[in-house]
Amino acid sequence: MSLIFGRRVNAKTPGCFRTKVVTQGVDPQITCFYRASRIKQYFKGHRALRTETVICDTRDFGIGRRVCLNNWNALRAAGEHANRRLCDAEAADARPAPDTVTFAEVTRPTTTAEGLHAPALRFGDPRVTAVMTALLRFSNLIAGFDNRSLTQLTSALLGAPYTGRQATYDLRRLRRKQIIERLPGTHRYQLTTRGRAIAVLFTKAYGRILTPALTDLTHHLPAELAHRSPLAIAWRQLDRALNQHITAGLAAA
């Protein structure tokens, strides 16, 4: 709520905060409540994504109730601001993956413009994947993160000890790779625009593409499961065709 509406939210803030699990066959819809106001996002006519903010109490945003041009413009600005913040946060998570040059710079040791060594962040490494996942935590967009929060999150994701010393090392190489930047006057950090794209690539490509695909391609996958996967079926057909072609070529020779 703080991210979307740009307002402070604490335990005394009135309103309903809940999560609804959308089942299969139901159009996805996001509804967020802040005091007496709400923002809703849904598919209009099953064709376009619509985002709308409804302000039921103008004083939720420090705006008077008098019907006048100034209050109307202030309400409109507050609604547009909330819509834009929500869409920007969603767009930041869906940005396209970085180019191959950037990927190579991140996954290989490099040297910064100041001559400092920047160790590699290996794609698929469990520790790197856990750190990247921790960086993408939604609350980091509001207040950033520090060594302690990174240590706690990464330890939970790894399921193994992850010390503050390791976090210090990772924070140093993330800064030198220009993935994170320090918030001025604090010991907290936030993702850069480049860093968010890289973190999304590392986590989504590994978790949603590479791991499921390798599972489908393994020969140890039970036949009843393989028959449900178009990728597994196609791969086994290709494998059989290649074996037949090789066998026929050796026989002819």
Give the pLDDT confidence score for residue 188 in this predicted structure: 92
Does residue 227 sit in the same domain as residue 200? no
Does residue 38 sit in the same domain as residue 85? yes
| Rounded Cα distance, 199 and 103, in Å | 11
In contact, 89 and 141? CB cutoff 8 Å: yes
Residue carrying the six token digits 């790894």: 158
Does residue 38 sit in the same domain as residue 76? yes
Among 93, 111, 133, which residue terminates a domain?
93
Give the pLDDT confidence score for residue 197 in this predicted structure: 86
Does residue 159 sit in the same domain as residue 230? no
Coil, helix or strand at residue 45: coil
| Rounded Cα distance, 98 and 177, in Å | 13
User: Which segments of the chain have a pLDDT < 70?
Assistant: 1-7, 15-27, 92-99, 252-253
Which residue range forms the structural domain that includes residue 149? 100-206
Report phi then psi at 27, rounded to 5.
Answer: -60, 130
Residue carrying the six token digits 């009135």: 14
Q: How many domains does the chain have?
A: 3
Does residue 65 sit in the same domain as residue 106? no
Domain for residue 67, yes or no? yes
Where residue 200 sits, what CATH number does that domain have?
1.10.10.10
Sign for the CA dihedral angle at 242, 245, 247, 250 comes to negative
Domain for residue 211, yes or no? no
A 10 A CB-CB count for 109 gives 11
Domain for residue 138, yes or no? yes
- Residues 111-169: pLDDT tens digits? 888 889 999 999 888 999 999 999 988 777 777 899 999 999 999 998 889 999 999 99
Coil, helix or strand at residue 240: helix
Give the pLDDT confidence score for residue 163 in this predicted structure: 93
pTM strictly above 0.75: no
Give the pLDDT confidence score for residue 1 in this predicted structure: 63
Does residue 46 sit in the same domain as residue 30? yes
A 10 A CB-CB count for 171 gives 20
Does residue 195 sit in the same domain as residue 106? yes
Does residue 171 sit in the same domain as residue 112? yes
Does residue 85 sit in the same domain as residue 166? no
In contact, 158 and 149? CB cutoff 8 Å: no
N-terminal to C-terminal alpha carbon distance within the chain? 71
Among 75, 93, 111, which residue terminates a domain?
93
Domain for residue 40, yes or no? yes
Does residue 29 sit in the same domain as residue 61? yes
Among 93, 121, 139, which residue terminates a domain?
93
Does residue 181 sit in the same domain as residue 222? no
Give the pLDDT confidence score for residue 67 in this predicted structure: 86
The token pair that represents 214 in the structure block: 């390798």
Give the pLDDT confidence score for residue 64 in this predicted structure: 87
Give the pLDDT confidence score for residue 203 in this predicted structure: 87
The token pair that represents 40 in the structure block: 């809703």
In contact, 182 and 176? CB cutoff 8 Å: no
Does residue 112 sit in the same domain as residue 201? yes
- Chain-centroid distance, C-alpha 152: 19
